[in-house]
Amino acid sequence: MKTIGIMGGTFDPPHFGHLYAAKAAYEAAKLDHILFIPNGVPAYKASEGRVTGKEHRYAMVQRLIAEESWCELSGIECEREGNTYTADTLLELTGENPDIQYELIVGSDSLKEMKHWYHPEIIFRLAGVIVLLRNWDTAETLVQTVKRYETEYGAQIRFVPFEKQEISSTLIRRKVKNGERLTGLVPEGVEQYIAEHRLYR
């Protein structure tokens, strides 16, 4: 059975930090490949109205992973109308691919919030969870959260050490606004796309 990691997010814009995180999960968990899924209209940001158009974010992720044979891109959420939810995405993916095991890749901060996500019972039933343990995290600090999810939802959770990079979408947007180069933060193709479409000005 194939095991595919899901790397979801707003990707506004995508950057090397996303790629490093995906690679850490891919290698440590011995996944077959990583599926990048840009959010269409993420429910938790829908009210803010400040998310770059999904067609731009999809195109930038395409450029981020262009040279990475272990990555694939899915437009499953960008193609969906209205708010997008992880539970709905997993229902669709597992319905189309019942022989594939999906693993949701999240940070420790997201793990703690998953009980508040839309239908967490569906998420934990349909996918395992790979938690990226960043520099300041330890598995011990999350043990109560994991035990609760295992008891309530039958969750299957594993940890992957990850050295967090000092890269963020917020930093990149600020640099673009200030007219600074993005060397070492994003691939050249992403930087060119941002410039051509005058994003984050």
C-alpha of 192 from chain center = 22
What token pair was written down for 50? 């400040």
CB-based contact 122:154 (threshold 8 Å):
no
Which residues, in sequence order, are CB contacts of 24 under 8 Å at separation 6+? Answer: 132, 160, 161, 162
pLDDT of residue 136: 67
pLDDT of residue 119: 98
Query: What 3-state DSSP class applies to 126?
Result: helix
**Which CATH number does 2-166 carry?**
3.40.50.620
- Nearest residue to 156 (alpha-carbon basis) of 200, 114, 109, 95: 114
pLDDT of residue 42: 66
Using the Cα atoms of residue 28, residue 31, residue 37 and residue 43 in order, give the sign of their dihedral.
negative
pLDDT in single tens digits along all 201 residues of the chain? 999 999 999 999 999 999 999 999 999 999 999 999 999 876 655 445 579 999 999 999 999 999 999 999 999 999 998 889 999 999 999 999 999 999 999 998 899 999 999 999 999 999 999 999 876 677 777 889 999 999 999 999 999 988 878 899 999 999 999 999 999 999 999 999 999 999 999
136/169 Cα distance (integer angstroms): 20
C-alpha of 10 from chain center = 8
Residue type, 25: A
Query: What 3-state DSSP class applies to 129?
Result: strand
Q: Structure pTM?
A: 0.93
H or E element at residue 140: none
What token pair was written down for 83? 């708010």
